[in-house]
Structure 1
Amino acid sequence: DLLVKTLRQLRRQVDVNTEVGVIRDIRLKELRLYTDYGRCSRPLFIVEKQRLLIKKRDIRALQLRESPEDGGWHDLVSKGFIEYVDTEEEETTMISMTINDLISARLNPEEAYSETYTHCEIHPSLILGVCASIIPFPDHN
């Protein structure tokens, strides 16, 4: 468990490539590291203790930046606010759909869906991925 936490922390600090998948399979007693490129992954906000790591001041600083070269998406990843999670690692995470889910889990833990959220969706439409999100009416075949 300590090794998995350390590897994920190194990935969040960009000491390990952000695209590396870290999966602990308790049932099989395995630690799997996926390093191949081209795997399906998606960005998620990181949650610790039912709170987003990114704060309003970070978002304001992003909005007030002078030029596109000042910070941006890469800074959000390198500061550990956003993490890329692949399909294998997604099986071991608890993802909140909205910030309101985190707030209600913190205020009313007995009524919450989960008491151990690890990530939060950036926007609910991103659950489909970029390609599916640009298809008009993806829910109407």
Structure 2
Amino acid sequence: MPDRAGAAQARLTEWMLAALMIAWGIAVALPGETLHLSGFRALVTLAPEAAWAGLSIAIGAMRAAALWINGRWRRSPLLRAGGAAWGLGWWLGLAGLLWLGADPEALPSAIAFYPVFAAFEAASVVRGAGDSYRSGALARWRTRSAG
């Protein structure tokens, strides 16, 4: 059986981003009106807190499941790349909505973090896609297009 410790270490950033999504969702789901701070007004205009919490937890849990499956199934890097793509969209969406809802003279500090998370998600998409190619997960499509 191959040693998977190196692969697990390389995916640590992906695990962290999945955990951050789940934690963000849990924080929003807790009692109180977390998203009623001024910077989040664009979010609550689109959907209630419960929807944002559920979506964040769902994406984070999907990412964690894809990471857990990774290495146990040949096509799993595609799941990882897809999960990272969802994460990329999530963090960019949050950053954009936070920017839209914020007071120009008092931007929330989170505006600095979400684009950084998105950049690491983009790197995870590239890494997952590369792993998919190297593992042969894309072989079915390569042989059809080559023939």
With the length of structure 2 as denominator, give the TM-score of the two structures.
0.28
**Structure label with greater radius of gyration:** 2
Would you tell me which structure has more strand in proportion to its own residues?
1
Would you tell me which structure has more helix in proportion to its own residues?
2
With the length of structure 1 as denominator, give the TM-score of the two structures.
0.29
